Structure 1
Amino acid sequence: MTAPAGPAGPADQAEPAAAAGAVQDPPGGRQAVAVWSIGVAVYFVAVIFRTSLGVAGLDAADRFQVNSSALATFSLLQLLVYAGMQIPVGLMVDRLGTKKVLTLGVVLFTAGQVGFALSPSYGMALAARALLGCGDAMTFISVLRLGTRWFPARQGPLMAQLAGLVGMAGNLVSTLVLAPVLHGVGWVPAFAGSAVAGLVVLVPLVLFLRDQPAGHEVEPVAHGGRGFVRTQIAASWREPGTRLGLWVHFTTQFPAMVFLLLWGMPFLVEAQGLTRSAAGGLLTLVVASNMVFGLLYGQIIGRRQSSRIPLALGTVGATALLWGATLGYPGDRAPMWLLVSLCVVLGTCGPASMIGFDFARPANPPARQGTASGITNMGGFLASMTTLLAVGILLDVTGDDYRIAFSTVFVLQLLGVSRILRLRGAALRREATRPGAPAAAVPPQGTRTRAIT
C-alpha cells in the first residue's frame, strides 16, 4: 500500500481538521485524574496477570512437562490474541466507549487468570492464557482514550507515559510479590489468589468511570456495520503518522517485552549462572529503569516534539549495542556490570514504544483515536510474538545456545529502523499541516521521502 510523500490536499485535510475542531480541549483537573486512575488501575492488574508467566516460566515448564518451544507457546499465544485483538478493540472503543470495553476486559482477563491457576493440562493452560490475552488487549487502548478525552492535548505525551509507567509497576508486582508467593504457597494458591485483584478493580470501574467529561462528548461516527469498520481502518491507515507509530512501537518495545515476559529469567539463570534471586533483581531493575525513563521521556516529548524520532532511534541503537556486547562478550558469561547495564537500557524500551502513539494521536481526529491506537499498539506485540517464538525454536535447535537465539533481536530492529526512516518525512510533513500543530523537526520539502508499507 502506498501513500504520497508530500502533504495531503485541502480535501484530505478537511475531515480530520473538522473532526478535531468539533470537540473542545478537555480541562483536566481532579475529576479527570480520578476517572483516569480507575482506568489505569485496571491496566495495572492486567499487566500483573500478563507478566505473571515471566516469573513462573521455569515452574510452568516443570508443572506441564514441556520444552522451550512449548513454553514459548504460552506467551506466543497470549500475544497472538493480544495483537490480533488490537484493531477490533480500537473499533469497539470508538463505537461502544471506554467503560463497556474495559468492563468486558476485566471479566475476561480475570477468568483467564483463574483458569490458568486451575488448569490440569498444557492444553487447558494454553486456552486460559488466550482468554487472558483477549481481556488484556482491551485495557491499554481504553486507557489511552481516557487520557485524550479527559486531559488537554498538550498533556497527551505525559499521560501516555504515565499509563505505561503504571503498567510497569504491575510488572514490578509480578517480580517482587508474585514470584516469592509462588515459591512459598504453590502454583494454585498464588495464581488463583492474584485473580482477586480483577474483582477489586471491577467495582469502581462499574460504579464511577465515565467515558468523557460533561460537555465534551464526541459526535458518534455516522457509519454502521462493515462500512464503519472499513472507514475507520482505511482512514487511520492512510495517515503516515499512524503507520509511523506502528513501526516505532514495533522496533522499540519487543526487546524488553521478550526479556520480561518469558526469556529473561531462563537466560540469566541458565546461560549466565545467576541465582533466581539475583535474576529477579535484574528483572526488577528493568522495571525500575522503565519507570524512571518513562517520566523523563514524557517530559522531554511534551516540551519538544522534535525529540520523538531521535529518542526512538537512540533507544534502538543503545539496546542493540548492549545486547551485542552481552552476547559477544568473551567467555561463557558476561560480567555483572554488563548485565546491569543491559537491564538499565532495556528499561528505555517501554517509554520509547509510547512515542509511537505520539505520532498516531495527532494524525487522527477524536472519533478515530481508538482505531489508530489499536493499529499502533499491534506493532510491538507482533515483534514480541515473533521473537518469543524464534528464541524458543532456536534454543531447542541449538541445544540452548542463547547467543544464537537472542540474535533474532537484531534482525527485527533492522527491519523496524528501515521502515521508520522511510515514513518519518511524510508523517512529519503531514502533521505540520494540522491546525495548531506543535513545532517539530520536519524534513525540508526538497527531501524526497517515500512512504510505502
Structure 2
Amino acid sequence: MSDTAPPISRFYVVSLVGILCLVFMVSQFLRSSTGVIAPDLMEDLGLRPEGLGLLSGAFFLSFAVSQIPVGIMLDRYGARVTMMGSVGIAVLGCFAFAFARNEMELTAARVLMGLGCSSMLMGPLMIYRRWFPAERFASLSGIQISLGTIGALMATAPLAFTTELFGWRESFMGVGVITLFFAILMGFIARDTPPGMAPPPRSSETLRESIGGTVEVARDRSVWPLFTMISCGYASFAAMQALWVAPYLSDVHGLDLTARGHVLFGMTGGQVIGLFLWGYAERLFGSIKKPVMAGVVLSASILAILAALDHPPLWLVTALFIVLGLNAGYTPLLLAHGRLIFPDRLAGRGITLLNFGNMTGVFALQALTGALIGFLWRSGVATEAGYRITFASLALVLLAALAYYSTIRDTSSRAVAARG
C-alpha cells in the first residue's frame, strides 16, 4: 500500500475481508451440499449411485476446466468484476438446482455452481495481494481458507435441519437469495486496489499463451508425482464427505437426515480444526514431503479399517469419520509443495495446473466410485459390502498415488529461503 494513500478505516478493512470470506463460504457450502441430502435426492428423483456420483462430481469438473479462463479474466478485468460475474452464475445454479425435476437438470445446476464458484478463492487472494503488505498475505490466506470451510460445516447439520423443516428445494432457494445478497454487498465493498494506488496493469495474455505456459510446466517431470498425489489426496476425502458417508449411514446404520447431519458436522468440524493444526506441520517436520506422506498413510489406514469392519458400532464409525476429517488438513500442504518447487516465473501456471488436478481428481473419483457401487449392487453384492469395497478402493488409490509421490524431491520454506 502506498505511503501517501489516504487512511483506510479498520471497519472498512474488516468489512472487505469479511465479505470475501462470506463469498468463499458459499463455494465451500455448494461443493459439499449434496452429501447430507444424497439419500433424499436418490429417493425423490430416483437417482442411481452412478448418477449421484456424476451429479456431485459435476461441480468439481466445471470448476476445474474454468481455472485457466478465470485466471485470464482476473488478470485482464480484475478480481471484483470477475467475481461479480461468477457469483451471479452461482446464484443461477442454486435456483436451477431448486427447480430441477430430473437427473440431467440437477447435474446442469451443479455445473453452473462449479462455474460460479471458480473465482471465489483466487479472486480474494488477488485483492489481498494488492491491499496488504506481503508479510500479511500468508495469514490472510489462512483466514480465508479456514473461515471458508465453515461453509462446508453449514452443508451438514444446518442443511439437514432446513431440509427437514422446509425441504431441500426450498433450502437451495434460500441459499440462492443469500448468495445474491452477498454479491450485492461485495459490489459495494470490494475494490481491486486501495485508495491512492494505481490500478494494476491488465494482462494481454491470450488463452493460447496461458495454455502454452501450462504446457511448459507440464514438461517438468517432477511435476507429475505431485500432480498425481494432489489429484487423489483431497479427492478421496471429498468422495467420502460430499458423497458416500451420508448414504452409508442411512443404508447401513439407519440414520435419519438429522442424525446424518450431526455425523457430517463432526467430520467437517474436524476438517476445520485440522486445517489449522496441519498448517504447523512443515515447521514441525522441517519438511513438506514427510507430513504429507504421514497424512496419506493415516487416511488410507482409516479407510482400510472401515473396509475391514463388518457392521461396526456407530460410535466407532463416527469417531473414524471425525479423525478422517482432522487428517484431511494435510492436503493443502501439497499446494505449498508446488509453490516451493516452481520457479517464480511459472508459479502461477504451476498452481493452476495443480488446482486443475485437484478438482478433476474429485470429479473422477466420485464418478468412478458411483459406477463401482452401482455395478456391485447390480451384481448381487450386499449393500454394506458394496460400501466396504468402495472404501477399500479409495485406500488403494491413496497408497498407489503415495508410491509415485515418494519419488519427488523434498523441500521446505526454510530450505528455499536458505538458497536465496
TM-score by length of 2: 0.85
- The question of 1:356 aligning with 2:334 is answered yes
Partner of 2:291: 311
Partner of 1:382: 360
Flag the 1:357–1:242 CA change in 2: closer, same or farther, 3 A: farther
Q: Deviations over 1:321-373 (max 9, x none)?
A: 111112102x3x12334323322232235422211232333556888665443
Flag the 1:143–1:419 CA change in 2: closer, same or farther, 3 A: farther
Flag the 1:246–1:81 CA change in 2: closer, same or farther, 3 A: same
Is the 2:53–2:367 contact (alpha carbons within 8 Å) kept by the matching residues of 1? yes
Partner of 2:417: 438
Counterpart CA distance in 1 for 2:114 and 2:351 is 17
Flag the 1:153–1:242 CA change in 2: closer, same or farther, 3 A: farther
Is the 1:51–1:171 contact (alpha carbons within 8 Å) kept by the matching residues of 2? yes
1:395 is paired with a residue whose SS is helix
Residue pairs, 1:98-109, within 5 angstroms: 98-109=79-90
Is the 1:168–1:291 contact (alpha carbons within 8 Å) kept by the matching residues of 2? yes
Aligned length: 406
Partner of 2:59: 78
Flag the 1:337–1:58 CA change in 2: closer, same or farther, 3 A: closer
Percent sequence identity is 22
Is the 1:244–1:359 contact (alpha carbons within 8 Å) kept by the matching residues of 2? no
Measure how far apart 1:111 and its partner are: 0.5
Partner of 1:50: 31
- Give the gaps of 5 or more residues in structure 1: 1-22, 441-453
Q: Which amino acid letter does the alignment assign opposite residue 438 of structure 1?
A: A
Counterpart CA distance in 2 for 1:88 and 1:244 is 25
Is the 1:43–1:139 contact (alpha carbons within 8 Å) kept by the matching residues of 2? yes
Partner of 2:247: 266
Measure how far apart 1:314 and its partner are: 1.3
- Which of 344, 349, 359 aligns to 2:322? It is 344
Measure how far apart 1:69 and its partner are: 0.9
1:409 is paired with a residue whose SS is helix
Is the 2:55–2:103 contact (alpha carbons within 8 Å) kept by the matching residues of 1? no
Partner of 2:267: 286
Is the 1:145–1:370 contact (alpha carbons within 8 Å) kept by the matching residues of 2? no
Partner of 1:403: 388
Partner of 1:322: 302
Counterpart CA distance in 2 for 1:250 and 1:154 is 30
Flag the 1:230–1:49 CA change in 2: closer, same or farther, 3 A: closer
- Give the gaps of 5 or more residues in structure 2: 378-382
Q: Which amino acid letter does the alignment assign opposite residue 261 of structure 1?
A: A
Is the 1:244–1:356 contact (alpha carbons within 8 Å) kept by the matching residues of 2? no
Residue pairs, 1:153-192, within 5 angstroms: 153-192=134-173
Q: Deviations over 1:32-69 (max 9, x none)?
A: 65433322211101222232221211111122222111
- Which of 347, 367, 371 aligns to 1:393? It is 371
- Which of 55, 60, 75 aligns to 2:41? It is 60
Is the 2:296–2:399 contact (alpha carbons within 8 Å) kept by the matching residues of 1? no
Residue pairs, 1:1-12, within 5 angstroms: none
Flag the 1:346–1:220 CA change in 2: closer, same or farther, 3 A: same
Counterpart CA distance in 2 for 1:220 and 1:372 is 21
Counterpart CA distance in 1 for 2:30 and 2:54 is 16
Q: Deviations over 1:106-163 (max 9, x none)?
A: 1011100001101223222221111111112221222343444445555555444433
Counterpart CA distance in 2 for 1:216 and 1:368 is 25
Is the 1:93–1:101 contact (alpha carbons within 8 Å) kept by the matching residues of 2? yes
Over the residues paired in the alignment, what is the CA RMSD in angstroms?
3.3
Partner of 2:121: 140
